[in-house]
Structures are given as C-alpha cells and as structure tokens.
C-alpha cells in the first residue's frame, strides 16, 4: 500500500470519478447478493404454497437485478476508461520530460532498455491496477462483508461454517504478499535488461553481421530470456499455489455447509429456502473470493512498477535558475567571450581516491576567436567541451560567458547562445530539414539551406529522393558517417550561434570533403567564438590559437607553429607518432 499510495499525485485529478466508479461497482456487486434472498422468498413462499404467479414475479425480480447489475458495471467502465487512459498518458509524459532534464551522468549509467520498460510495461501494469484492482479490492471486501452479515443474520451456525476459511486465507495472503513482491521486482528488472539487449542488437546489427557474432548475441539474448522465463514461472507457481487455496478452502466450506444444512432441513430446524439462499450466496461470493488472489497479484506487480517508475521520477534534477532583476542583462548579438577559471571536474561515480579528469583548467577565448583544444586520447577534451553547454557541471572553479557565470544562468538562456556538434552525431527519425532546424527554434528554410551549404551537405541532399524533406532513418543509419557529421555540423551553425563548440566534427570526412567543409567553415568562424576539439592538423589550422590538454591540465597555449617548435608532446600528437618514453616537454606522454 505504501508503494501504491505514492501514485496519489497522478490519480488526484480523477479521484472523484474513481470514487464514483467504486461506489457504482459496490452497488452492482451488492445487487448480486439480493438474488439469493429472492430465491429464498420463492422457495419458502410461492413454491411451497403452490403459487405460480409468485414464481413469475420472482423470476422477473431476478431478471431486473441481473440487468441492473450489468448496466451499472458498464457505466462504471465507461466512467473511468478515458480518465485512466489520461492518467497513464500524463505519467508517461512526465517521465519523458523528467528523463530529458536529468544530468548526462544519469544517462551514462542507466541503460535505455530499463527506461523503455518503465515507460511501457511498468506504466501498463499501473494502468491495469487503476482499472481493476484499485476498485475491485474495495468492492470485493465490501461484498464479502455484506455477504457475511447476510449469512450470519439468517443462520449464524451455518454462517460460521461457511466463513471458516477466512482466517487461513488471510494468513496465506500475508505470506504470499512478501514473496510475490520480490518475484515481481526480479521479473520486471530482468525484463528491462532483456529490452536493452534487444535494442542494442537492432541498433548494432551491422556490427553483429560484420563480425559474424550472431551466435554470441543469440546466447546473450537466450541467457536473459531464460532469466525472464524463470522469474515469470516463479511468479506463476506462487500464484498457482495461492489460487488453489483460494478455490479449495471455500469449496470445502460450501460442502460442509451443504451437509450440515441438509441435516437441519431434515430435522425441520431450517427451511429449504434458507439453505438455498445460503448456497446461492456462497456461489455469489465464490468468484469474489477467488478473484481476490489475482487482484492481489496484480496489485503487487503494480506496486513494483510504481516503485520502478517513481525511483526514476525521484532522481534529483539539476537546479534551474529563474531570471532575477539583479542578474546582469544578456549582451547583444555578436561573438561571446568564454573563460574557464581554475575548472575542476570528476565524474560522480569515480572512486574518491581517483584523480580528477580536469584539474585547474584556465582558458580564455576572446570574442570572435577560435581556439583548438588538442590532447592525447583520454586527456579530457570531450569532457571539457561538455562543460561549456552544461552537459556536465564542474566540481570546482567556474566557467563564464561574457563575464557571467554559467552556473547562474538558466540553461535555456545559455544554450540559446551556444551550439554544439559532436564527433558521433545523433540524428532523429525526421526529415533532413527538421534535423538541421533543431539547432534553432526560429530557423527558416533559408537558414537550413545556408547551413547545408556551409556543411557541404547540399550536394548529397539534393540527390536524395525528396531533397531536404527526405526522412532520415533511425539514428541516420541510411546515411554514411561523413553525411551524418555534415548534417550535425549544419545543425550547429543554422542558428548563427554566438559561441560554437565542436568536438572533432570532421573526423569521418574524406580529405577532399574535409577541405571543402573547412573552407566554408572559416566564414562561419569569422562571426562567432569557437572551441574546437581537434585531432588533425588540418582542423587545428582553422584556429587562431591552440591549447594543449595533458593529464587534465592546460600544458601549453599558443599558435600551431609556436607549439610545434616549443612543445614536444604537441609535435608528437600532430605528427601521429608516439613518444619513446617519459613525459614530453610541457606535458605527459601519449
């Protein structure tokens, strides 16, 4: 109940409808308990007295009760169908928006399959709980209570015999509850892992086929599928055991009631109508009792799903700031100034004794200047580039844009000034024009066309079936790596950003295309401030200055020619050679 009560904020908007639906369902269920009383009246009255008209009236009463019960249940279902679908949709939307606002470090740790399972199967279980168990656990409890009162009021000794299974069933339910909750959590976690494997196999199908790794991937899939199967079978065994008891014990009680009641009818201490009413009431209560086991199982699955969903929703978002009158106003259009002052960064999951990825980084890029960031693999270049648009938050020091600390700047405002392009470009299942226009909310068709020209993408786009309106497949896998990089670059420059952060954006281009892109990019760099993570000398030549990042620190800053002649590590990096031993001048060895 504690887990399910955490859903109250999401259910609150439809609570009145749910309450009305529960009242209607309870009323309909209690109407079913009137039928045995009608049968008792017919058996002890018209049938015993030989009054055929009374039998007809009794039959009409039973028909009307049945029609009323069915109609009320139908109204209940229509009453809650749309509101509960809206609750599920709003919860899915809330999860999506929350995940979008979580820090990148969260996405570094969590698999996409676990998130997908929470947004699909877990929310489906919660929706199923809201439709049935939430209402019918209350309805069943009320129906059983009213049925017990009816039984005891007619013949309390027979009533006690019929109700004898109540205590052992409650004990069984308590034991079942704890074990099924653990089994349900295990099954849903395994299901999330299986979703991850399926997604990775689909996305990496080219690698699997290229290396002939079908068998190993199939084995990994089979292992997880076997765990899911085992967890589901364990749940089924638990449910089968408790369901058997929920069926067997009431059936035994009904048999005992029939034998005892028949003796009392024979002795004349009980009327046939009362015994008939007892047995009919038992038949009405039997499916109610039997369904309680299934409802409990659904409730536990929903509780587990609610915990998995709310575990993600409880993850803290990065604090967002609201603009205040005292904050320095945003400067006008034109290149921005970027400064890093004693910046330090370590990943949250890193061991406490591990050195920081970045330590004491100081850099200043003047408005309109282009700075190339160079370093060995693993030196922290991509991490530093990710700090500027606040994909990560520095753990020390500060970063300023136009003299304003970006930590004091709303992310929407910061990212309105900055555009980024990464080495591994991500494209979406949309048209080429829509993918490029994501770089600026106000981008026009003319802006998109200009950006495609700058990225030297207009030629290949023009040859596509629908030009810029051609749909890009999932992850852009219908395009080559170089084409994807050019579209990502076009997306970065479409909004004429004041600050441009490029993480090795030309690595997948051939030498001729790279030269053409660089020539067009020079025009863009003349109107913005740029930080470019570079590996190739040709990319470095786009920059006014170069900063060498070594062992998490800025080891040297200067022009390309200056560093070639004064810094051995930089010369090694640019030549593609590895140092023989020991640290080179100005930094660590590669």
Confidence bin at 341 (pLDDT 50/70/90): very high
Confidence bin at 339 (pLDDT 50/70/90): very high
- Checking if the pLDDT of 586 tops 50, the result is no
Confidence bin at 583 (pLDDT 50/70/90): very low
CA atoms within 13 A on the CB side of 86: 11
For residue 51, the model assigns a pLDDT of: 66
Q: Are the CB atoms for 228 and 185 separated by under 8 Å? A: no
Q: Are the CB atoms for 439 and 494 separated by under 8 Å? A: yes
For residue 584, the model assigns a pLDDT of: 39
Confidence bin at 589 (pLDDT 50/70/90): very low
- Checking if the pLDDT of 199 tops 50, the result is yes
Confidence bin at 547 (pLDDT 50/70/90): very high
CA atoms within 13 A on the CB side of 312: 30
Q: Which residue has the higher pLDDT, 341 or 513?
A: 341
- Checking if the pLDDT of 283 tops 50, the result is yes
Q: What is the mean pLDDT of residues 429-458?
A: 87
Which residue, among 284, 289, 290, 288, has the nearest Cα to 40 in the 3D structure? 284
For residue 267, the model assigns a pLDDT of: 83
156-163 and 272-313 helices cross at what angle (nearest 10)? Answer: 40
For residue 206, the model assigns a pLDDT of: 61
For residue 207, the model assigns a pLDDT of: 64
Q: What is the mean pLDDT of residues 538-565?
A: 90
- Checking if the pLDDT of 577 tops 60, the result is no
The segment with the largest mean pLDDT, out of 10-24, 213-227, 274-288, 547-561, is 547-561
pTM assigned to the model:
0.66
Which residue, among 276, 263, 253, has the nearest Cα to 166 in the 3D structure? 253
What's 582's DSSP letter?
S
Architecture in CATH for domain 338-425+498-575: 3-Layer(aba) Sandwich (3.40)
- Checking if the pLDDT of 409 tops 70, the result is yes
511-525 and 445-454 helices cross at what angle (nearest 10)? Answer: 130
Q: List the domain boundaries for the chain.
A: 13-313, 338-425+498-575
For residue 556, the model assigns a pLDDT of: 92
% residues pLDDT > 90 (the chain):
10
What is the Cα–Cα distance from 571 to 291, expressed in whole angstroms? 76
* From 317-331, 407-421, 491-505, the region with the lowest mean pLDDT: 317-331
Determine the straight-line distance between the first and last CA of the chain, rounded to whole angstroms: 57
Q: Where are the alpha helices (DSSP H) in 132-213?
A: 133-154, 156-163, 166-203, 205-211
Query: Residue 91: is it exposed, middle or buried by C-beta count within 10 angstroms (0-12/13-18/19+)?
Result: buried
For residue 585, the model assigns a pLDDT of: 38
Q: Which residue has the higher pLDDT, 261 or 203?
A: 261
Strand partners, 502: 421, 532
- Checking if the pLDDT of 324 tops 60, the result is no
What's 121's DSSP letter?
I
Q: Are the CB atoms for 33 and 284 separated by under 8 Å? A: yes
Q: What is the mean pLDDT of residues 349-369?
A: 87
156-163 and 214-267 helices cross at what angle (nearest 10)? Answer: 160
* Whole-Å CA distances, 567 to 34, 122, 238, 547, 578: 95, 57, 70, 11, 14
For residue 342, the model assigns a pLDDT of: 93
Strand partners, 547: 373, 557
3-state DSSP assignment of residue 499: strand
CATH superfamily of 13-313: ABC transporter type 1, transmembrane domain (1.20.1560.10)
The segment with the largest mean pLDDT, out of 156-170, 358-372, 517-531, is 358-372
Confidence bin at 205 (pLDDT 50/70/90): low
Mean pLDDT score of the chain, rounded to an integer?
A: 81
What is the Cα–Cα distance from 298 to 239, expressed in whole angstroms? 10
Q: Are the CB atoms for 321 and 409 separated by under 8 Å? A: yes
Secondary structure (DSSP) of 335-391: PPPEEEEEEEE--TTS-TTSPPSEEEEEEEE-TT-EEEEEE-TTSSHHHHHHHTTTS
Burial profile 309-334: b = 16 or more Cβ within 10 angstroms, e = fewer:
bbebeeeeeeeeeeeeeeeeeeeeee
Angle, alpha carbons 280-286-290 (nearest 5°): 170
Secondary structure (DSSP) of 417-456: HEEEE-SS----SSBHHHHHHTT-TT--HHHHHHHHHHTT
Q: Which residue has the higher pLDDT, 59 or 449?
A: 449
Q: What is the side-by-side order of every strand in the sheet holding 404-405? A: 358-365, 338-345, 396-401, 404-405
Confidence bin at 28 (pLDDT 50/70/90): confident
């Amino acid at each position: 109940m504690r887990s399910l009560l955490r859903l109250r904020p999401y259910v609150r908007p439809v609570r009145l409808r749910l309450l009305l639906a529960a009242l209607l369902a309870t009323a309909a269920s209690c109407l079913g308990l009137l039928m045995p009383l009608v049968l008792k009246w017919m058996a002890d009255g018209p049938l015993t007295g030989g009054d055929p008209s009374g039998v007809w009236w009794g039959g009409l009463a039973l028909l009307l009760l049945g029609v009323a019960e069915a109609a009320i249940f139908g109204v209940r279902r229509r009453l809650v169908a749309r509101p509960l679908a809206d609750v599920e949709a709003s919860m899915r939307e809330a999860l999506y928006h929350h995940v979008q606002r979580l820090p990148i470090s969260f996405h570094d740790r969590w698999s996409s399959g676990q998130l997908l399972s929470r947004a699909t199967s877990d929310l489906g279980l919660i929706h199923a709980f809201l439709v049935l168990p939430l209402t019918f656990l209350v309805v069943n409890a009320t129906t059983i209570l009213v049925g017990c009162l009816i039984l005891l009021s007619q013949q309390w000794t027979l009533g006690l015999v019929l109700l004898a299974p109540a205590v052992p069933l409650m004990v069984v339910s308590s034991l079942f509850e704890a074990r099924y909750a653990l089994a349900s959590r295990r099954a849903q976690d395994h299901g999330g892992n299986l979703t991850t494997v399926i997604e990775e196999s689909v996305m990496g199908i080219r690698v699997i086929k290229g290396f002939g790794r079908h068998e190993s991937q199939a084995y990994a899939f089979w292992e997880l599928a076997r765990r899911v199967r085992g967890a589901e079978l364990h749940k089924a065994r638990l449910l089968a055991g408790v369901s058997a008891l929920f069926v067997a014990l009431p059936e035994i009680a009904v048999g005992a009631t029939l034998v005892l009641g028949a003796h009392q009818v024979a002795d004349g201490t009980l009327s046939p109508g009362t015994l008939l009413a007892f047995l009919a009431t038992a038949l009405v209560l039997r499916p109610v009792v039997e369904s309680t086991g299934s409802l409990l199982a659904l409730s536990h699955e929903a509780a587990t799903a609610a915990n998995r969903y709310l575990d993600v929703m409880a993850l803290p978002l990065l604090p967002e700031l609201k603009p205040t009158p005292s904050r320095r106003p945003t400067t006008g259009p034109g290149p921005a100034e970027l400064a890093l002052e004693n910046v330090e960064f370590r990943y949250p999951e890193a061991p406490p004794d591990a050195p920081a990825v970045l330590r004491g980084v100081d850099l200043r890029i003047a408005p309109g200047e282009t700075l190339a960031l160079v370093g060995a693999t693993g030196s922290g270049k991509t991490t530093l580039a990710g700090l500027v648009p606040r994909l990560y938050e520095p753990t020390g020091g500060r970063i300023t844009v136009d003299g304003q600390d970006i930590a004091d700047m709303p992310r929407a405002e910061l990212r309105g000034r900055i555009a980024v392009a990464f080495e591994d470009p991500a494209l979406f299942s949309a048209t080429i024009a829509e993918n490029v226009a994501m770089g600026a909310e106000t981008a026009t068709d003319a802006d998109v066309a200009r950006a495609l020209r700058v990225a030297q993408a207009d030629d290949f786009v023009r040859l596509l079936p629908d030009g810029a309106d051609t749909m890009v497949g999932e992850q852009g896998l219908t395009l080559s790596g170089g084409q994807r990089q050019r579209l990502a670059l076009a997306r970065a420059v479409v909004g004429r950003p004041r600050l441009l952060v490029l993480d090795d954006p030309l690595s997948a281009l051939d030498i001729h295309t790279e030269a053409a892109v660089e020539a067009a990019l020079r025009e863009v760099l003349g109107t913005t401030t740029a930080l470019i993570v570079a590996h190739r000398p040709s990319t470095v030549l786009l920059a006014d200055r170069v900063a060498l990042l070594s062992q998490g620190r800025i080891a040297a800053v200067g022009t390309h020619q200056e560093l070639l002649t004064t810094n051995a590590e930089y010369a090694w990096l640019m030549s593609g050679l590895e140092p023989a031993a020991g640290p080179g001048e100005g930094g660590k060895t590669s």
